[in-house]
Structures are given as structure tokens and as C-alpha cells.
Amino acid sequence: MDNSPDMVNLSFQQHINHMGKNTEIKFVGQPIFKQILGLLDVINLQSIIKRNESDKYYKVYSSRTQLVTMLFGILSRCDSMGEICDGMRAMSGKLNHLGLSQSPAKSTACDGLRNRTDKFFEDVYFSLVKAYDSFLSDSRTFGLTFKEVLLIDSTTIRLFSDILKGVGRNPKGDGKKKGGLKVHMLIDAVQQVGRFIKVTEAKVHDKNFLKSLELESNCMIVFDKAYNYYYQFAQWTANSVYFVTRLKSNAVYTVIKTVRECEPERNKPMVTREEFIDLEYMLEDEEGKRMNGSKAVVTLRRICYQDEKNRKYEFLTNNLKISAEEVAFLYKKRWGIELLFKKMKQNFQLHYFYGENETAIRTQVWCTLIAQLLMTVLQKKAETGKAFSIVATLVRIHLISMLDVYELLRSTNRRIERITGAPPGLGQLAFDWA
């Protein structure tokens, strides 16, 4: 028997062929990264570049090149601009698929990150949200009659204090005070994508974000008690904009009517008290400054609720029609925005920043949101049952593989077949990966 290396390889190949070809995941002529970039084709990138004049002072490192570079770093979870540029240099044979002639130099990429306006990337994100609006929408309305249900929250990203203003109290001893920024976001509770986003210094109070919102009547907004702003509550009530939030423990109010009251039962979710209250607030001028101590009163509903774990909540709303149980249900939906921030921080690179100035940080935040939106669209197009974290991981591992990304995400096959009479030294099991 001929046991030469050539004969062993030939024999093993015959056994592999006997098992049949794995046709579940198709090979294509473009890397997965290129297929993801294809999702950007729904918007006119060139018109956004022209509108923001983002290529005005750049001859080599265009806005599109920077967007591709940033998305490569975020999707592959690179820790620095050096890693991004070296990683792209290693895939030089595939850069033509991405519309690039060569990998950008580290110095060029860093200069672009510091100096190019982040407004371009902001416009790209909201253009994508608008383009995919109908695709991401579905028929879920939570059984309510509002035009839309919107969620508000913020997440703090800690930085060094010399980049942005400090966060929190001064530390005791020799500890260094952290700087940081806040990403405030208004999202659609159904679509789970941003409708309005504002990046501020971390020291800016959350309630100031509410002044930036332009809301339609008969919509419902849900947010936590950090955003309590009684003057804004009165303005919304006058314009039929509804909200659900939690009442602060130090709130001063007058009970004008008790609708119901009952004793709580252990481990039973229930409304224990419902009442109408008057909240006093300070009047403000057009610039948001208080008007010489002038005050007014707004009437709201206060609802006390106990969940299945006997935790107590006090909710506040200006809607007089929905039931108290629906108010508690709406506040529970606020968890959706917490999950969105969790996706951002766990699946994408927001622990390390590629630049040190404010423009660079804002650009990275916008590009992270773009990457998350593209992954959401990809997950829905693939009609896969895989979790978002699995989708992000598979994309990261196979980012430059020539595979059909949709087949990769749909595949659930994991087979192990035994080879009978395998050549010596090759083992008895062959794994058919899918």
C-alpha cells in the first residue's frame, strides 16, 4: 500500500468528496464587509458630503473613505487607529471591493478624525433611519392608541477631564476626576432606532435635552425621573403631548382628588393608589430663564404601583384617558432603550477612543450608531433567530470572508460525520461546519 503524502492527501480528499459538498453557506465574490457597506446604497452619500462640505479640504482622505475606515474599526472591534490602518493594510487584496485603492496612513486617518466635522456622520445616520423607516416598522402598537411611543434616556461615556468637563463630585484623596460626555437619545419603542440624538458634556443636566425635542401632538414619551422638568410638562400638556415618568422622592405637590386606594398584596403586581395632584413650577421666558419667581400649577396623575417582586413605584403622567395599569405597562417598555445602550457598549468599541478631541469622540459615537443600525437591518433582512450579539460576533469573525452574509446568519446546521476507512493519522471524525 502506497502511504506517500500525495496518496494520503488524495485519499482523504476522496473521503471528503464522498461526504458531499457543504452548500448551506454560499461563497460569493465580495467580502461580508462589502455586503454590509451595500446597505448604505439606499442613501445619496455624495449629496450628504456636498451639503456638509466635508471633502472641502481633503484631496486623498475622502468622507466616504473615513466612513469605511471607521466602520471597519468598529465592526472588527479595533482598539486604536493604528490597529485599524494595519488591519486594512493586511487586506490590501480586497480593498478594491470597498472602493479604496490603498489603506489610509495612520497620520492621515488621525488628522481626518480630529478635523472633519462630525455633522457629516450625523446626517448619514439620520438619512439611514429615514430610508429604512418603513422596513424597520412593524404592526406592534402595544394595544395603545397613540400616534407613536417614544423612549428617552442617556448614557455616560467616561473620559479624561481635559477632553470634556468632569463628571460627578470631586474624588477624595489623589483620585483623578473623570471627564465625559452624555449621549441623549429619543428612540421609537417599536423600531428600536434613534429618532433624535444629542451628544453633550456629561455635566449638562438631563432635563435640558427635553428643550431640544420637537414632538407631534398625541404622541407618548416615556423617560426616567432624571428628566423631571415641570415647566416642560405644562407645555406638553397644553399641546396634547403625553408622557409617563417617575415622581422624584423630594417632589412637592398637593393632592386634589384620590381616585382609588387599596392595600397591596404580597408578590402581586397591582396599582395601590391613583390620584390627581397639583405640581407648582417656575415660569420661564423664551431663553429658558426663570421670570422673577413667577409660578404656575400643572395638574397631573400620580399612580402608585407594586410589581411582582414587591418593589414600589410612583408614576407621573398627564394623560387622563389611559388606565393606571397601562401607565405602569408603558414605563416598563422604557427598558427597550436600556437594551439599545447595552448593545452599543457590549457589541461595539466604545471603551477605547480613536481620537482625543471632542470632534473625534463625537464622530466615533455617530459611526457606532451607524454600525448598530446596519446590524439591525442586516439581522432583520436575514430573518434569523440569532441574537443581536451573535450577529455582531459572526460579522466580526468573518468580516473579510467571501461568504453570503445572509446564509451565514440563517445557518443553524452543526453536523459531525464519521469517515469510514480514513487514512492513518487523519482521525475518524470530520466536522461539517455551518
Q: Tell me if 41 is assigned to some domain.
A: yes
Cβ-contact 121, 370 below 8 angstroms? yes
Q: Are residues 229 and 279 in the same domain?
A: yes
Q: Are residues 316 and 369 in the same domain?
A: no
- The pLDDT of residue 8 is 47
pLDDT string in tens for the chain (434-residue length): 555 555 545 554 554 454 444 445 566 678 899 999 999 999 999 999 999 999 988 888 999 999 999 999 999 988 889 999 998 888 777 787 787 878 889 999 999 999 999 999 999 998 998 898 878 765 454 555 677 888 888 877 766 544 555 444 454 454 444 557 777 888 877 766 777 878 777 777 788 888 888 888 888 999 988 888 889 999 999 999 999 999 988 888 999 999 999 888 888 999 999 999 998 888 887 766 777 778 888 999 999 999 889 999 999 999 988 899 999 888 888 876 777 777 777 777 666 788 878 788 889 888 988 998 999 899 999 998 898 889 999 999 999 888 999 999 988 765 544 444 545 544 444 444 43
CA distances to 34, 143, 417 from 410, in Å: 19, 31, 21
Q: Which residues pair with 243 in a beta bridge?
A: 221
- The pLDDT of residue 4 is 57
The domain in which residue 232 lies consists of: 225-332
* DSSP H or E segment with residue 89: helix 81-90
Q: Are residues 327 and 364 in the same domain?
A: no
- The pLDDT of residue 374 is 93
Q: Are residues 326 and 364 in the same domain?
A: no
Q: Are residues 237 and 295 in the same domain?
A: yes
- The pLDDT of residue 338 is 75
Structural domain count, the chain: 2
Cβ-contact 182, 164 below 8 angstroms? no
Cβ burial, residue 357 (10 Å; 0-12/13-18/19+): middle
Cβ neighbours for 318, distance < 8 A, ≥ 6 positions apart: 233, 236, 237, 242, 243, 298, 300, 301
Q: Tell me if 214 is assigned to some domain.
A: no
Q: Are residues 101 and 28 in the same domain?
A: yes
